[in-house]
Every structure is written in structure tokens, then in C-alpha cells.
């Protein structure tokens, strides 16, 4: 995700230096976009007004932020696009505050295609002043940017996003499977119902490929299970009923057991075959 996002920043006229835990990825970015590459976190962030981070999970955020914050200049803004826990976001926010750095938790939605096309949705938590400064920069790779509240609010909103997607994809899987077993043409069915109450982004972009048994469209089951784990853990802390989310998470576990961990999230269809 960060690979094309950094490219959009460069194309928008910003001076960009990238660092990646896999050095070859950073070098490939430099070759493709012509931007600067650093061998260290400190070298990448030194003197920057904005630092963007997009890694895997809470431990990754903590580790990378721990290297970035001491090397950032006072008054700079650290923006984390990782999908992580709200508790992690609040912890990094506190660490940043003590270092004179602003921090925004800013998880993203839109998948690989959204990153490539500069059309991501960015859900932000943090102080209003830092958010207002960051919006014109984030706009380089986003179609929508919104502050939802204080630190952690962006991550909580991303949890809502994933909870909703899980339920929609399970319903869509069952619907497409039903259409096939009833002898209907899936594309014709989607054309008929896709402009009515059943319409969704997932239907528009995944129903036909699900009907063809194609599940190679970016966001992997392994990552979705990480996101749902975070949401289910948070649900317990706020006493929210996430019965359907827990059920669909179990279905994704079955897809993993079938060897589908790297297939995209529409591969829920596999367990119905």
C-alpha cells in the first residue's frame, strides 16, 4: 500500500524519502519513481515535516515509531496508516506528545487499487490542528479524509469498516453461490439487483469475479483476520455484540485452513463450494 502512496506524494511535488524494512522494496520504489531512499529510519525522517508509516500490526507500529520519533524534528507530524488497535494509537500518541511531535492514527480503506489510483479513504484520530495541517498532504493519495475524534478514533472507525465488510462479503458469497446453484447467470443477476437496495462496493467490484472463482484482488484473508481480531478484542472492551463478525472470522479461518490465506477477502466463496 505504501509503495504507490509514496509515489503519489512525489508526483504531487513533495520531497519524499522512503525506508522499508525490506531494503529491496525501498530500492525498487526508488528505481520506479526516482525518489530518495534511506537505509535507516532516522535517515528517512530527519528534517521532515510529515512522516507517513504503513506497516503490519501493533508490534510493527511500536517498533518503527520508536525509531522514528527520536529522529524527527519538533513540531513534525507522524501519520500512521497501519490498521492497528486504538490502544496502540493512544500509546504512540502519548510518546509523540512527550517528544514534541504530533501523531495521527489514519488507517486506510480502498485496497491496493485505491492506493494505486490515489483514491483511498482515510479515517483519522488526533488533534484538530495536526489534522488540518496533514489533510493537504494526505490528499495526494486519498479521495476522502475525515477526522473522527481524538487519538484512537481513526482505528476504531476502521474497525467499524471491517465489521461491515465482513458481513457484506458473507451475504454476497451466499447470494452468488445461491444464484449459481439455482442455475442463474451471476452477471445477469448482479446487473438486475446491483442498482437496488442490495448494491454495495463489494457487489460492484467482486461479485462477478466471485462467480468466476477468481480471488486475487489484493487485500488478503490473513490481513482481514488480523483486522477482525483487533475489532473483536475492542468489541469486548466496549461490550458490543459482534456475533456475526465472530462467525465470519471463523469462516475466514476455514479459508486459511484450505490454503487461502493469501487470497483476497471475497474468497469466502471457497467454503461454500
| Range of weakest confidence among 30-34, 111-115, 262-266 | 111-115
pLDDT for 238: 96
Q: Which domain covers residue 244, as residue numbers?
A: 156-272
Q: Assess whether pLDDT exceeds 90 at residue 227.
A: yes
| Predicted local confidence at residue 257, as pLDDT | 98
Residues 32 and 140 in one domain: yes
N- to C-terminal Cα separation, the chain: 31
Domain end among 150, 182, 205:
150
Question: Residue 217: what pLDDT?
Answer: 87
Residue 146 designated active-site: no
For the chain, the average pLDDT equals 97
Question: Among residues 103, 120, 150, which one ends one of the domains?
Answer: 150
| pLDDT given for residue 237 in this prediction | 96
Sign of the CA dihedral running 19, 20, 24, 25: negative
Query: Would you place residue 111 in the very low, low, confident or very high pLDDT band (cuts 50, 70, 90)?
Result: confident
3-class state of residue 73 by DSSP: coil
- 143 and 60 share a domain? yes
Average pLDDT over residues 236-245: 97
Q: Tell whether the model's pLDDT for residue 218 goes beyond 80.
A: no
Indicate whether 273 pLDDT > 90.
Answer: no
Give residue for cell 508509516. Answer: 53
The reply to whether 112 and 12 lie within a common domain is yes
Three-state secondary structure call for residue 65: helix
Q: Within this chain, do residues 106 and 213 fall inside the same structural domain, yes or no?
A: no
Q: Say yes or no: 66 and 188 in one domain.
A: no
Give the pLDDT confidence score for residue 112 in this predicted structure. 87
Do 29 and 6 form a contact (C-beta atoms < 8 A)? Answer: yes
pTM > 0.85: yes
The catalytic position among 158, 195, 226, 273 is 158
Domain termination site, one of 150, 173, 189: 150
Q: How many CB atoms lie within 10 A of CB 107?
A: 26
Residues 6+ apart with CB under 8 A from 60: 82
Q: What is the pLDDT of residues 147-204, one digit of tens each?
A: 999 999 999 999 999 999 999 999 999 999 999 999 999 999 999 999 999 999 999 9
pLDDT surpassing 90 at residue 222: yes
Same domain, 36 and 167: no
Query: Secondary structure of 230-265 in the HEC alphabet?
Result: HHHHHHHHHCCCCHHHHHHHHHHHHHHHCCCCCCEH
Q: Tens digits of per-residue pLDDT, 15-56?
A: 999 999 999 999 999 999 999 999 999 999 999 999 999 999
What's the pLDDT at 154? 98
CATH number for the domain spanning 80: value is 3.40.50.720
Number of structural domains the chain divides into: 2
Identify each DSSP E strand in 42-116 by its residue range: 50-53, 77-80, 102-105, 108-109
∠ at Cα 231 (229, 233), nearest 5°? 70
Amino acid at each position: 500500500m505504501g509503495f504507490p502512496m509514496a509515489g503519489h506524494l512525489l508526483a504531487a511535488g513533495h520531497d519524499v524519502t522512503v525506508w522499508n524494512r525490506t531494503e529491496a522494496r525501498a530500492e525498487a520504489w526508488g528505481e520506479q519513481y526516482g525518489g530518495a531512499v534511506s537505509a535507516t529510519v532516522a535517515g528517512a525522517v530527519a528534517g521532515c515535516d510529515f512522516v507517513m508509516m504503513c506497516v503490519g500490526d501493533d508490534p510493527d507500529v511500536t517498533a518503527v515509531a520508536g525509531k522514528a520519533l527520536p529522529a524527527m524534528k519538533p513540531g513534525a507530524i507522524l501519520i500512521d496508516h497501519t490498521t492497528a488497535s486504538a490502544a496502540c494509537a493512544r500509546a504512540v500518541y502519548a510518546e509523540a506528545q512527550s517528544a514534541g511531535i504530533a501523531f495521527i492514527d489514519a488507517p486506510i480503506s480502498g485496497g491496493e487499487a485505491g492506493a494505486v489510483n490515489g483514491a483511498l479513504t482515510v479515517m483519522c484520530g488526533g488533534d484538530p490542528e495536526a489534522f488540518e495541517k496533514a489533510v493537504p498532504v494526505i490528499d495526494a493519495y486519498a479521495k476522502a479524509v475525515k477526522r473522527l475524534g481524538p487519538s484512537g478514533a481513526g482505528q476504531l472507525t476502521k474497525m467499524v469498516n471491517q465489521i461491515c465488510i465482513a458481513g457484506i462479503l458473507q451475504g454476497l458469497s451466499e447470494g452468488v453461490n445461491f444464484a449459481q446453484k439455482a442455475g442463474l447467470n451471476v452477471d445477469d443477476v448482479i446487473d438486475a439487483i446491483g442498482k437496488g437496495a442490495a448494491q454495495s462496493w463489494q457487489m460492484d467490484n467482486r461479485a462477478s469475479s466471485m462467480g468466476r472463482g477468481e480471488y486475487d484482488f489484493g487485500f488478503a484473508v490473513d490481513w482481514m483476520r488480523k483486522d477482525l481480531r483487533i475489532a473483536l478484542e475492542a468489541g469486548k472492551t466496549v461490550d458490543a455484540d459482534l456475533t456475526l463478525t465472530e462467525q465470519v472470522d471463523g469462516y475466514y479461518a476455514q479459508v486459511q485452513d484450505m490454503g487461502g490465506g493469501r487470497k483476497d477477502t471475497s474468497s469466502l466463496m471457497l467454503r461454500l463450494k
